[in-house]
Each structure stands twice: as structure tokens, then as C-alpha cells.
Amino acid sequence: MTLQECYAAMGADYNGVLGRLRSERLVQKFVLKFLDDGSFDLLCSSFASGSWEEAFRASHTIKGMCQNLSFTALANSSEELTEALRGGTPAPQAGELLEQVRKDYQQTVDAIRAFQASL
Amino acid sequence: MSKEKILIVDDSEMNRSILDDMLGEDYDIIEAEDGLEAVNVLRKQASDLSLVLLDIVMPRMDGFGVLEAMNQNGWIDAVPVVMVSSENAPAQVERAYELGVTDFIMRPFDALIVRRRVVNTLLLYAKQKRLISMVEQQVYENEKRSDLMIDVLSHIVEFRNGESGMHILHVRILTDLLLGYLTHKTDRYKLSMRDISMISTASALHDIGKIAIDEKILNKPGRLTKEEFEIMKTHSTVGAKMLENLPVHQGEQLLKIAYEICRWHHERWDGRGYPDGLKEDEIPISAQVVALADVYDALTSERVYKPPFTHEQAVGMIARGECGAFNPLLLECLTENAEKLRTALETDSVEEVKRRKLRGISEETLRGEGRSASERTLQLLDRERMRNNFFTTMAETIQFEYTVSPPMLTVSSWGAKRLGLDEIIMNPNQDSKLRGVMGESTWERLSKRLRSTSPERPEVRMDCPLHYGGTVRWHRIITRALWSDDPKPKFDGALGTVVDIHDAHLKMQELEQKAARDQLTGLLNRASAREQIELRMHDQPNANYALAIFDLDYFKLANDTFGHQFGDQVLQWVAKSLCRSVRGTDISCRAGGDEFMLFLEYNTDIEKTIDRVFRNLCGKYENFQIAVTMGVALGEDVGLSYETLFHAADAALYAAKRAGRGRYRFYDDSLQTLLDSVPHAEQEETATIH
């Protein structure tokens, strides 16, 4: 699996990220690094325990990383979630949005793992 | 030359890492994972940092918090901040600009944009920074001559006419830009970014030799005569000499560059300039560039002897060689970037003026309009020195620094580890860990005492118990308040050290205890018993208390029959029995002679307790039958005052004696009349002393 195929599999914008980071090596490095980031776990646990500010920050962090890596799908859903969590009290649709983020995150991570396995 | 340092503040490790990869080759990167860490880095090395890249949303302290701290500490004047964020709500952006950020980089990052923005911001600030570091250097080297350079410059301004301020500024901007274009064109001159900013900084000194030129010639409207022109020409060598004769800074790169510029900024490429007739690259590149910038600005500015030329006219005149020959490469830089130069000069000068207003740093000083920058720098350095001195003389202790705004307590890492505190404590008044260590009121007391010091006598010493690691140890806090240099000094914070004095304190306590105790029996003496009783009642006014007074029956007989030594032994025996029959929390005392006092707290049946104590006190010491008579008063009957309790118990004792010794009696209302008629033991004692 090439990095480009990996991006396609997760609904992400390969040309976009390459245009910005300007080096396939860098893109690959950070894509793989994404697996080590704990923000998603933090998001889930803080969401479950009702620590909304922490959940907001975690979601915000995911959004920022995804924007940087042009993980379009996850960037979009986490952005929506971030906005739903902004201000300390979750909007009614936050739970639904979290599920979407979970789905997109899973898809993203699956694609990266598949790519990693083919290296 | 060392790389410039950039502080990256972002809670996402990946985002930091991306920025690091984009910038790490050209800069030294320091990372902080939240606002608090960032503030700590700034506190330690704000003056070494060239730039801060700052995220907004972070745990513990967010980007705005960092900006506020930077404002409060004046760091924002010295270190430019570029916000890196995906937050783009106008209110947030505006607030960030209000707090002094220079630029925004939006996510997602584009490597080119990030690099370019960083370079731009650094260039913008490089000049200021160099000047500041120049001043700092001076301070370190020679306090008295601290801002000599700046003094020299402001003298020029005094000696010259009104054109000077803008001229110096324009020459600097042009020099900076031209050098930038030049490095794109050729690497012949091997110019680093630092070289470029040093040359631009030094360019401000190009005309200092004009101090020596008669003002009549300097400001003469119309053409100079040949003689006058010859005099005018001496300003380049005079300026160079001035720098050569500076008593300080010799051997410094900046001074070397300034010398080149002063001496040779009127040399020309074809060797027809003055004073030395150097040609082509015999002329240092610094002087070549400043010469071009000088000519360009002279042409486009109004002078006493001529109106301003337009930008196009000026470039045309220079290109045609009307102002002498210049390095063809530099001419290319000028003509190719003519438009950019013009707009840069216009916008930059507006920017500069704005920035000067906002930040009041180097430019201001340069123009002699104010000396806030150097004074502030001096003050900071002074404080730095004070801090170092203070701390190095206090090795191996817990050290701390407190600032009022932001309210922050920084504890030395050794100290923080020992006390189990965080190294950085925001809002120390509300920090539960700190309260746990210091106790509820110690922090407030300390803070109050510090605030009531004066700049002349800023030191405070305070002994207090600190709770950590499961124990309590006494410490001495030695601290000095920091007062601002304002006419009306402001309390800025404090520096301090904490010394463990536990062992010494224990010795003191032991001595105190000795003084508080009766030598013979080891029981408390009356004065200290009273103190403790009153303290107990004050601390826990809701408990039930009883006070008992007793003396030995026929003690005088024991003394008379068996001698005083025997009498003492009897007293010791009684004291021991007393100690055995009461709890550690009860207060027992030898009130004097053969009179003893017992103060106890009870929950249930006090009569039973008293009865037990009473029985334990009766017995036989050798052949002497010991019996006591005891009077008891209860707080619930007479009220919680030592005096009242004592008199009531005394009255009960008196009544018991009258009823025939060897018994105990509780005070009740029937004894009311006795209260007034019984000669009080207290008074008796006083009477015997007098």
C-alpha cells in the first residue's frame, strides 16, 4: 500500500498535505506518529466522565492534527464535535458527533495500520 | 554564530513536531507543552528567545494566559509571538492582536508559509533585539558607561537637524532589505541573517562623525563651498575615530562593522569616493550597502538645499551614476526591487512608528526620545544580578520566587521535590498543596509582612512549621520583597529561601519547656498551666472542662518531722500519681508549695473521674500517710474563664477543708458567698512574693 492509497482509504487529501509539508518523508513520519497520539483515548474517557473542558481540548487537538495532516474526514467530524463541546456544556448532538468521530478515527487508524504493515 | 532560538508552545506533540521539522534545521527549537511551561521558559530565558510560536487552546494555561503573562512582565516587547492555531473566530484573533501578537499562522500548516512568516517576524525584530543585546552587553561590561552608544547617538540627533530620525530609520530599513536581496543573488559575501541584522543596526551609526561638523555647514541651505565640502567630508574619518577610541567594546563584531560603515560609506565602486579611495570589493559590503541606502534616502528626502525627488527619479539618478558608481549587483537589487523597496519603506516606516509607540524599544532610544528601553533593560539586569547573588549565597536550601502579576510562585526544583510542591504554582493563595504544606494562614501572614516592608528594608524572616513527607518540621523563611523603581514603589513580588531549623527549634522548645515546668516535679508551673488552659478553652470552647485544685493534708507535718528532702520526695510521689491517673491531654500543674492543679476535659460522668483521681492520690509514701483535699469547679456551672474556674474550685476546696479534709467537693451555687470571702490562692501567692 502506498501512502497515497492510505490517504484515499481514510478519505483524506494526499495532494493537499504534500503541497503543504512538501516532503513525502515528512508526511509519512507524521502519519505514522498519529497512531501514538493519545488524544482520541482522552476524548473518549473525558467525554464518558463528563469532563467537558478536557473533552473540548482533546477534540480540538485531534482537529488540529488532522488539519495539519489533511485527514479531511476526521478533521471535519472532529471540528463539528469541537464546536459542539465549546463553552463547557456539550450541545445535544455531541454524543452523535462523537460516534461519527469514532467511526472516522477507526477508519483512519485502520488505513494507517494497513499502510504500516506494508512497509 | 549560534542559531536563533524559537519557543514552540503546543499541547499536541505532533503539532510541535511538525513545526520542529519545518524549522529545526535553521533554528534552535525549545518546546513547551502548555502555557505554564512556556511561562517558565520565558522566565528563565526570555532575552535569549527570538520568537514564540503559540497555540491557543491548551490545558493548565492557554495561549491568552501566556500572552497576558508576557505583557505583565514586559516580555512581549522583546519577543515576538506568532499565534499558531485553528481558532479563527474574529473575537479571538482580535484579542490576540490586542495582546501584542505579531502574526497568525492558521492550521493546516504550510511549510513555506511557516518558514516565511518566521523569517519575516525575526527580521522585523532582529534590529531591536541586536540593539537591546548591545545595551545589555554594555551593562555587563561596564555599568557606568551602560548606554554610551545610545548617548553618542542621541547627541547626533541633538546636533543634527530634524531630518535625522527618519533618515537613520530609512537607511536601516533599506540596508536590511538590500542585503536580503543581495543574498538571494549571490553568496559571494557569505552573509548570515545575524550579519545582516548587525549591519542594519550598525548602519544607524553611519553619520556619527557629523557631531564634529559645524552646524552652519551641516545645515547650510544651498551648495557648500569647496572648503566647506572638505570639512564636511571629514565626518567619515571622524566617526570612525570616535568608534576606534571608544573605551569599551573593542573587538566586538558590531563595533567593527560600525567602524567600516562610518569610515567607508562615502567610498565608491570606481575608487572615486572618500576618504581612502577604496574601490570595488575593497570596500566592505556593509559600507557599500549603507552608501547606497544613504544616497537613495538623501535623494528622496527633503533637505535644506533641495526638494525631495520621487522614488523613480532617485532610482534613475542612481542607476545613471549621477551620485557616483555602485556595486552593479547592488544596483540590480535596487532596480529589480524598486517597487518593493518603496512600499516597504512606506509601510515599514508606518509600521515602525506604530511599533515604536506600542513597544517603545530601541528606535525610541535611537532618536533620543526616551530611554525607557535601556532603563528597563537595566532594571531587569539589575534584578537578575540581585537574584543570582541572593541565591548563590544561599546554597543547599529551598529557594523560591514570587511574582504578584501573574500571581505565581516558582520553587527551585530541589525545593519543590523536597516539599512535594509543583515547581510553578499559579495563584498560590488558592493552591491546596501549598496550603497543605504551609498551613492555613502562614502564606497570608508572610504575604502581609512582605507587603508591609519598604524598598530600603525589604527583608522578612519568619519561622513556621512546614508539613511534608508525613512529618512536620520547623523552617525559617528568609525572603526579600521586590519593589519597583517607580516614584511610588510597587510591590512586585519576592525572592526567598527556606532553611530547615527543626533541630535548633526543638532545642529552643526544650528550653522553653524547662522554663515552663516545675523543677522538682516536672509538672507545669502555674503560669504556663494557665496559658495552656486558656488556649485550650479558646480553641475548643464547646467542650466540657473541669478544674480541680488540691493540696496535701498535713504536709507541713511531713516536712517538720522528716525534713525538707523527705517533703520533696512526697511531692514527687504525688506528682507521679497524678500523672498516672490522668490522660496526656489533661493539664496538670504544681501551683506552688503543696498545692496542685488539674484541668481536664470530660464527656461523661465527671464525678467518677474525679473520684478515681482522688483515690489514686491517696496512699502511703514510706511511713507517711498521704491524703489530699480537693475542690472542683465545672465550666458548665461557672463559665469558661480561668479566673472564675480557679476561684470556684478554690472556694470548693475551702469548703471541703472546713468539712474536714481528706475529701473532694464540687463547687455549687451554695458556695456563692464563699467566692467573695475566701482569700484567693492567687492573691495569697502574690502577697507572699511582695
Residues B264-274 have pLDDT tens digits of: 999 999 999 99
Top pLDDT among B567 and B511 is at B567
Q: What's the rounded Cα separation, in Å, for the pair B150 and A116?
A: 60
Q: Minimum mean pLDDT among B97-111, B126-140, B395-409, B415-429: which range?
A: B126-140
Among residues B102, B85, B96, the alpha carbon closest in space to that of B10 is found at B85
Top pLDDT among B520 and B208 is at B520
Top pLDDT among B152 and B552 is at B552
- A30 interfaces chain B, CB cutoff of 8 Å: yes
Max avg pLDDT among A31-40, B149-158, B161-170: A31-40
Q: Minimum mean pLDDT among B6-20, B107-121, B471-485: which range?
A: B107-121
Residues of B in contact with A20 (CB under 8 A): 108-111
Q: Across the interface, do A64 and B17 touch by the CB < 8 Å criterion?
A: no
Across the A:B interface, residue pairs with CB atoms under 8 Å apart total 60
Please, are residues B559 and B541 in contact by the beta-carbon 8 Å criterion? no
Q: Minimum mean pLDDT among A102-106, B78-82, B169-173, B324-328: which range?
A: B169-173
Which among B13, B86, B111 is the nearest to A21, CB-wise? B111
Q: What's the rounded Cα separation, in Å, for the pair B683 and B646?
A: 12
Q: Across the interface, do A37 and B13 touch by the CB < 8 Å criterion?
A: yes
Q: Which H or E element spans position B570?
A: helix B564-581
Q: Report the residue of A52, A60, A108 to disrupt the B interface, i.e. the one with the largest count of B CBs within 10 Å.
A: A60
Fold entry, domain B5-109: Rossmann fold (3.40.50)
- B57 interfaces chain A, CB cutoff of 8 Å: yes
Question: What is the pLDDT at residue B108?
Answer: 75
Q: Minimum mean pLDDT among B135-139, B393-397, B491-495: which range?
A: B135-139
Residues of A in contact with B108 (CB under 8 A): 16-17, 20, 67-70
Dihedral (CA of B252, B255, B260, B263) sign: negative
Q: Report the residue of B8, B17, B18 to disrupt the A interface, i.e. the one with the largest count of A CBs within 10 Å.
A: B18
Among residues B47, B120, B39, the alpha carbon closest in space to that of B82 is found at B120
Kindly tell me if the per-residue pLDDT of B368 is higher than 90. no
Q: What percent of chain B has pLDDT over 90?
A: 17
Question: What is the pLDDT at residue A112?
Answer: 94
Tell me how far apart the 2 most distant CA atoms of chain A are, in Å: 43
Q: How far is CA B84 from CA A64, A67, B16, B88, in A?
A: 10, 13, 10, 10
Q: How many domains does chain A have?
A: 1
Q: Across the interface, do B17 and A33 touch by the CB < 8 Å criterion?
A: yes
One fold for both B5-109 and B128-374?
no
Question: What is the pLDDT at residue B413?
Answer: 76
Kindly tell me if the per-residue pLDDT of A23 is higher than 50. yes
Residues of B in contact with A22 (CB under 8 A): 111-112
Kindly tell me if the per-residue pLDDT of B541 is higher than 90. no
Q: Where are the domains of chain B?
A: 5-109, 128-374, 394-505, 517-689
Please, are residues A17 and A8 in contact by the beta-carbon 8 Å criterion? no
Q: What's the rounded Cα separation, in Å, for the pair A20 and A13?
A: 11
Please, are residues B467 and B362 in contact by the beta-carbon 8 Å criterion? no
Question: What is the pLDDT at residue B250?
Answer: 56
Do you find a cis peptide bond into B275, omega within 30 degrees of 0? yes
| Domain B517-689: assigned CATH number | 3.30.70.270
Top pLDDT among A114 and B512 is at A114
**For residue A113, what pLDDT band results from cuts at 50, 70 and 90?**
very high
Question: What is the pLDDT at residue A80?
Answer: 94
Q: What's the rounded Cα separation, in Å, for the pair A110 and B287?
A: 62
For residue B402, what are the β-bridge partners? B409, B494
Top pLDDT among B453 and B508 is at B453
Cα dihedral B296, B298, B302, B305 in deg (nearest 10): -140
Kindly tell me if the per-residue pLDDT of B393 is higher than 50. no
pLDDT digits (tens, 9 = 90+) for B662-685: 899 999 888 887 776 655 444 443
Do you find a cis peptide bond into B308, omega within 30 degrees of 0? no
Q: Where are the beta strands (DSSP E) in B66-113?
A: 81-85, 103-106
Which among A20, A29, A64 is the nearest to B110, CB-wise? A20
Q: Across the interface, do A37 and B15 touch by the CB < 8 Å criterion?
A: no
Instruction: Provide φ and ψ at B306, rounded to 5°.
Output: -160, 150
Distance from CA of A56 to the nearest CA of B (A): 9
Question: What is the pLDDT at residue B508?
Answer: 64
Residues of A in contact with B17 (CB under 8 A): 30, 33
Sequence-separated (6 or more) residues with CB below 8 Å from residue B286: B199, B202, B203, B257, B260, B261
Kindly tell me if the per-residue pLDDT of B25 is higher than 90. no
Q: How many CA atoms lie within 13 A of B172 on its CB side?
A: 28
Q: What's the rounded Cα separation, in Å, for the pair B30 and B52?
A: 9
Residues of B in contact with A29 (CB under 8 A): 21
Top pLDDT among B633 and B115 is at B633
**For residue B328, what pLDDT band results from cuts at 50, 70 and 90?**
very high
Which among B14, B85, B110 is the nearest to A34, CB-wise? B14
Sequence-separated (6 or more) residues with CB below 8 Å from residue B532: B524, B587, B599
Neighbours of A111 (CB within 10 A): 21
For residue B493, what are the β-bridge partners? B403, B482
Residues of B in contact with A21 (CB under 8 A): 18, 22, 109, 111
pLDDT digits (tens, 9 = 90+) for B177-197: 899 889 888 888 888 776 787
The CATH number fitting domain B128-374, selected from 1.10.3210.10, 1.10.8.60, 1.10.3720.10, 1.10.10.10: 1.10.3210.10
In terms of Cβ atoms closer than 10 Å to its own Cβ (0-12, 13-18, 19+), residue B374 is: buried
Q: How far is CA B311 from CA B204, B299, B342, B391, in A?
A: 22, 8, 7, 58
Question: What is the pLDDT at residue A49?
Answer: 94
Kindly tell me if the per-residue pLDDT of B353 is higher than 50. no
**For residue B652, what pLDDT band results from cuts at 50, 70 and 90?**
very high
pLDDT digits (tens, 9 = 90+) for B273-292: 999 999 899 999 999 999 99
Average pLDDT, chain B: 78
- Side by side, the strands of the sheet bearing B587-592 are B587-592, B595-602, B544-552, B628-634, B664-666
Q: Across the interface, do B15 and A33 touch by the CB < 8 Å criterion?
A: no
Top pLDDT among B213 and B295 is at B295
- Side by side, the strands of the sheet bearing B28-32 are B28-32, B5-9, B49-54, B81-85, B103-106
Q: Where are the beta strands (DSSP E) in B361-449?
A: 398-403, 408-411, 424-426
Please report, for the domain that includes residue A61, its CATH number.
1.20.120.160
Kindly tell me if the per-residue pLDDT of B550 is higher than 90. yes
Distance from CA of A105 to the nearest CA of B (A): 16
Question: What is the pLDDT at residue B265?
Answer: 93
Question: What is the pLDDT at residue B346?
Answer: 67
Q: Minimum mean pLDDT among B95-109, B554-568, B615-629: which range?
A: B95-109
Q: Minimum mean pLDDT among B54-68, B229-243, B621-635: which range?
A: B229-243
Interface of A with B in 46-65 (CB under 8 A): 54, 56-57, 60-61, 63-65
- Chain A residue at shortest CA distance from B89: A83
Q: What's the rounded Cα separation, in Å, for the pair B45 and B386?
A: 16
Q: Tell me the three state secondary structure of residue B429.
A: helix
Q: Minimum mean pLDDT among A8-17, B325-334, B623-632, B669-678: which range?
A: B669-678
Q: Across the interface, do B59 and A67 touch by the CB < 8 Å criterion?
A: no
Q: Across the interface, do A22 and B108 touch by the CB < 8 Å criterion?
A: no
- Grid cell 551648495 — which residue? B223
Q: Across the interface, do B86 and A67 touch by the CB < 8 Å criterion?
A: yes
Question: What is the pLDDT at residue A44?
Answer: 95
Residues of A in contact with B23 (CB under 8 A): none
DSSP letter assigned to residue B471: E
What are the cell numbers at B102?
505579531
- B627 interfaces chain A, CB cutoff of 8 Å: no
- Chain A residue at shortest CA distance from B16: A65
Q: Tell me the three state secondary structure of residue B463.
A: strand
Q: How many CA atoms lie within 13 A of B635 on its CB side?
A: 21
Looking at residue B437, its amino acid is V
Which among A19, A56, A68 is the nearest to B18, CB-wise? A68
Among residues B236, B232, B242, B179, the alpha carbon closest in space to that of B207 is found at B236
Please, are residues A25 and A40 in contact by the beta-carbon 8 Å criterion? no
Top pLDDT among B468 and B486 is at B468
- B112 interfaces chain A, CB cutoff of 8 Å: yes
Range of the domain at A92: 3-117
Q: What's the rounded Cα separation, in Å, for the pair B113 and B237?
A: 44
CATH class of B394-505: alpha beta
Question: What is the pLDDT at residue B220?
Answer: 73
pLDDT digits (tens, 9 = 90+) for B402-460: 888 778 888 877 788 889 888 888 888 888 889 889 887 888 889 889 998 888 888 88
The separation between CA B339 and the C-alpha centre of its own chain, rounded to angstroms, equals 48
Max avg pLDDT among A96-105, B92-101, B187-196, B232-241: A96-105
pLDDT digits (tens, 9 = 90+) for B226-263: 888 888 888 888 888 877 766 555 566 777 888 899 89
